[in-house]
Chains A and B, each alone.
Chain A
Amino acid sequence: MKKYITVLAVAVALMACNKKETTNTTTDVVENQKEQNQKMVSLNGAVTETLAALGATDQIVGVDVTSTYPEDLKSKTTDLGHVRSITAESILSLKPTVVFATSKDINPTLNEQLKKAGVELVVIDQEYSVDGTKKLITEVANQLNKQDYQPLIHNIDNQLKAVKPFEKKPKVLFIYARGAGNLMVAGKETPLHNMIELAGAENAAATLTDFKPLTPEALLTNNPDVILMFDSGLQSLGGAEGLLKVEGIAATNAAKNNKIITMDGQLLSGFGPRLGEAVVELNTKLNK
């Protein structure tokens, strides 16, 4: 009996090794028909917003956790959860024709699996800048064969004109919070750093790179004039009172002058079509 089982196991393993690598051939579909029947999965909030802004809302069948805008989208589509824990099977179960993702979000295994499964995968290199957002809109529009995406781009440029410069740049510290035990500050090479600069201010944590844990000493070294957070982040601490209880926060200029401002997470850090709106909102809140 033992022998049979092991012989069988070896046989299966060897058969598997001999399996021929197969190649997928995607059938060419007539372009305009393609647009009608597309089923899209978007694994990035900014891409989802762009798809919606280009009028493709009805073709979106699945989104990731960061796709919070437009608000009514989640009720119409399947929420696949956090992009890092999404599996190929859950995406394929929605039978999508095209999957949109950004290169930093999608892990290599998932990338490979989707390609092999014959699903069209559009991977966009997202840059967190005005040009990057324009490029993202252009790429998504090209994918959809939409020619009328220029208004979205002009809209961003027009809105950015409303940014009021400061006489003295305020030092803004962005704090990412998921409860009091888990506080990170945003240094260089984060979308938040670029947002703060676009709004005409200075990042108090510019000496750091990427997200770094918040320490009381570092906080006072770069004493910020303003503390910026996501709405959800401040809520997770129990509001401004909870934030002031965090070691070192109460001693900062921001806390003394009561300059703690919050914005919607996806709006502030998404770098999607609402970029202009986001920069202006941040600029206005800093000017108050």
Chain B
Amino acid sequence: MMSKIAVYKYGFLGLLVIAIISALYLGAYDFSDSVPGILSTYFQTQEHSSDSYVLIELRIPRILMAIFTGAGLAICGTSLQGLFKNPLASPDLIGITSGAVLFAAVTIVLGSAFMHHLPPFFRYALLSIMAFIGSLLTMIFVYRMATTNGKTNILILLLSGVAITALTGAVTGFLTYLSTEEELRNLTFWSLGSLAGANWWKVCIVGIFVTIGSLILLKKGKTLNALMLGEKEAAHLGFDIEKNKRQIIVIVAFMVGSIVAFNGTIAFIGLVIPYILRFIFKSNYNILLPLSMILGAVVLLIADTISRIIVSPAELPIGILTALMGAPVFISILINYKRKM
């Protein structure tokens, strides 16, 4: 008899495998060969056919990007909810993604003169680092605004998020008037997110950021559990609360920054995934952190695959889908929550 946790864990992993296989085969382009066949041909000849190009340069990086992004946003959302001791905290609602967008957009416009001369790895790394600085500054600002004596006022927290989001919208809007920079012309990219630009370089960078960040955050389960008792109590239990808080803030900013720099704002994942899991497992962060990663990856990969095929040959911005998936779930959870009160 497997434990409930194991059942869910393997269930989610099974879903992830199914989602990956489906995503490989679904899309506007029809392969003339099987996926293993295309791969083996490519590795023998080392030359791209249309088939191998679509598979290796477009679909696989995009699938990996969806997995890293979904997992990263979900674990960040879970950590923030633990940190602020409030289930409404998530990177998009409290403005961290907006802060990252702001700095990424400014970097693209101001850096357009010299960005082209950098090798891709440095170009993407610079963009990530700038977005990281943006999300870190926002995070510190929001935290300072909303927290007094270790108590977080959720109203101030959400309103700070609204303020930062409004500011970002204004500045990015202004930048699009200033520049003819291709990536900024398309404001929907930043506001509704898209994984369409995924390539191996971007996947590497996001993968590295998300992997390192997650390894650190996954160890924070005990601390977050202790935090639910209150800061003083947690300190009495022997946790270095201030140090842990600082670490979580920096790591979340670090992950959200790199994700947003390449994919824009993908809403709701960081809010809804931990919410669903909390419904099943209550607030045990030792379980929530790893499971939110797997479920986040599954949900985002499914959403991205749908966005690629639903209006084929065109594409829907993925933010529309995550909001469509997320909002009803969120509302139903709220209704249940209200009944329990």
Report the separation of the CA atoms of residues A118 and B51 in the bound assembly, to the nearest whole angstrom.
11
- 308-328 of chain B: CB within 8 A of chain A: 308, 312-315
Per-residue contact bits, chain A 1-25, to B (CB 8 Å; 1 contact, 0 not): 1100110011011001101101011
Contact of B49 among A2, A86, A87, A118 (CB under 8 A): A118
Is B64's CB under 8 angstroms from A16's CB? yes
Is B68's CB under 8 angstroms from A9's CB? yes
Segment among A52-60, A107-115, A249-257 that sits at the interface with chain B: A107-115
Report the separation of the CA atoms of residues A16 and B206 in the bound assembly, to the nearest whole angstrom.
12
Query: Chain B nearest CB: distance from A67 CB in Å?
Result: 14
Contact of B29 among A80, A81, A93, A113 (CB under 8 A): A93
Q: What number of A residues sit within 8 Å (CB to CB) of B?
A: 36
- 88-106 of chain A: CB within 8 A of chain B: 88-90, 92-93, 95
Residues of A within 8 A of B314 (CB): 80-81, 85-87, 90
Segment among B211-219, B225-233, B240-248 that sits at the interface with chain A: B211-219
Is A113's CB under 8 angstroms from B58's CB? yes
Is A5's CB under 8 angstroms from B293's CB? yes
Counting CB contacts under 8 A, is A84 at the interface?
yes
Report the separation of the CA atoms of residues A2 and B47 in the bound assembly, to the nearest whole angstrom.
36
Given contact pairs A6-B214, A10-B211, A81-B313, A116 touches B48 in the complex (Cβ within 8 A): yes
Nearest opposing residue in chain A for B314, CB measure:
A81
Is B50's CB under 8 angstroms from A16's CB? no
- 158-180 of chain A: CB within 8 A of chain B: none
Per-residue contact bits, chain B 22-44, to A (CB 8 Å; 1 contact, 0 not): 00000111100000000000000
Segment among B87-95, B162-170, B196-204 that sits at the interface with chain A: B196-204
Query: Chain B nearest CB: distance from A159 CB in Å?
Result: 34
Residues of B within 8 A of A190 (CB): none
Contact of A78 among B46, B218, B313 (CB under 8 A): B313
Residues of A within 8 A of B315 (CB): 85, 87, 90
Does more than half of chain B's interface fall in helix, strand or loop, or is it mixed? helix
Q: What number of B residues sit within 8 Å (CB to CB) of A?
A: 42
Residues of B within 8 A of A81 (CB): 313-314
Per-residue contact bits, chain B 1-22, to A (CB 8 Å; 1 contact, 0 not): 0000000010000000000000
Is A109's CB under 8 angstroms from B211's CB? no
Residues of A within 8 A of B313 (CB): 78, 80-81, 86-87, 89-90, 93
Counting CB contacts under 8 A, is A117 at the interface?
yes
Is A17's CB under 8 angstroms from B27's CB? no
Report the separation of the CA atoms of residues A5 and B315 in the bound assembly, to the nearest whole angstrom.
30
- 173-216 of chain B: CB within 8 A of chain A: 182, 185-186, 196-197, 200, 203-204, 207-208, 210-211, 214-215
Residues of A within 8 A of B204 (CB): 13, 16-17
Task: List 3 A-B pairs, minimum CB-CB distance, nearest first.
Answer: A90-B313, A13-B207, A93-B29
